[in-house]
Amino acid sequence: MCRFGVFPGWALRGYSAIMMDIENAPLGLLLKRAGWMSPDDIKNALIHEARQILVEPPAHNFFSDVNKIPMFTVISRNSYYLGGMMSQRLVIGRYCSISHNVDLGGTAHDMAGLSTGYLSQNFYDEIKERQNTAPKADDPITVVGCDVWIGVGAFIKGGVSVGHGAVIGAHSVVTSDVPPYAVMAGNPARVIRNRFDDKTIERLLKSQWWTLPAKDVTALPKENVEKCLELVEKIRGT
């Protein structure tokens, strides 16, 4: 449970209040994609109701400033982001390392109309109105899974899903979904290799080690993947 003083302006809310309308409420739609968070995790998360943002502590200091986070965003524990551009309708998993100048969830301008720009004389009001439009059930959501590493200057297109354990190389342009544990790089980004062999990837995904209590994850021998898997399987009873 985090303290009120950690992130000023945030509040703790009950699970039922957040999830009452999970099929249609903005935050509910996002949390459906964050399958690694249990009801208890959500109960203990920081919620900014007005902006429909959920941050699961502990989180990087960047996320303590609600003005740096776009509306309709879920950020999971032990993930850091060193700065760049974040777009709304975004879910970030646990144990993610996101470097400088990363564009998460970038969207395209509409090319079918008269102009790709903003025609209103109230320029900033028009931008704010677009940014504050709540997502609907069929709107694309950008999802960064757990244990993802994104290198400096990378671009992740809006609506893309980055699989658990994936690595995105520096300055890559990711325009399509990224498989779990794939290493992708380039413009457009392509799979260079996988982090592990197929059998190990299957065991890692099955283990869902990122859903263990934080104290159990901390105790894992990070440098020895095989030993980690054996310990997680023992904890799971599999």
The torsion angle over the Cα atoms of residues 170, 175, 178 and 184, rounded to 10 degrees, is: -30
- Nearest in space to 73 (alpha carbons), one of 29, 118, 120, 112: 29
> CB under 8 Å to 3, separation ≥6 — which residues?
none
48, 100, 109, 171: which one is catalytic? 109
Is residue 172 within 8 Å of residue 157, measured between CB atoms? no
The DSSP code sequence of 186-213 is ETTEEEEEESS-HHHHHHHHHHTGGGS-
Is residue 163 within 8 Å of residue 177, measured between CB atoms? yes
For the chain, the C-alpha Rg in angstroms (whole number) is: 18
Asked if 164 is an active-site residue, the reply is no
Sign of the torsion angle spanned by Cα atoms 15, 136, 168, 155: negative
At 154, list the tokens.
Answer: 């990378």
Rounded distance between C-alpha atoms, residue 150 and residue 169, angstroms:
6
Catalytically active residues are 109
